[in-house]
Structure 1
């Protein structure tokens, strides 16, 4: 980045606002020259590490919420859970399958519907996250 003398003296190279403006200009130039598809590849490569790090932390969310946000950010379609139950009323077991965009991603089980869905969500989150790493 070429900076004026004033910005050089005041450590302009370390200012987040200038760096953000430069990155925005670069991305805009790539878009104008190469179109959306190429720009998307470049942006994904730039933010992938940060995105993966945030997702690894689950963004402080429970499994179902983290999976919902990941699915939305990846544009994978809708997220649904197919839940089945087995066993007598006093000792039921639940199995949930996380379905994303019509595709079964992962299965989870538990003693309640919520527990089974959370288990399926956590497993699905790991599978989808590994696809973008």
Structure 2
């Protein structure tokens, strides 16, 4: 069982996934800081200092903090949009690099043999 686990854990896909999760968590911290420290104060100024997290109402003995939910949804939308922009910029740069690279046409050995047969048939038909 340990041998199977070792094979599973050391497979390339699992290691790639682990690295992706770690980098994703670190990137999440960066995006959260971007939202909390840069974007939200600017949006707060534009919206006249509105902070949704203070909105609530009391029902019997329970306090329903619906403003925190609204603020969390708003934060999520900003984070999602930030990630979208980041990925879009990266994809555009990668796409430009691929377009700049000259396309090298690779001919499969089977295709090469078929082309030789075609050329021989053409040559024999002309005789």
Which structure is larger by alpha-carbon Rg, 1 or 2? 2
- Mark yes or no: TM-score above 0.5: no
Kindly indicate which of the two structures has a greater share of residues assigned to helix.
2
Give TM-score scaled by structure 2 length: 0.28
More strand by share: 1
The alignment's TM-score, normalised by the length of structure 1, stands at 0.27
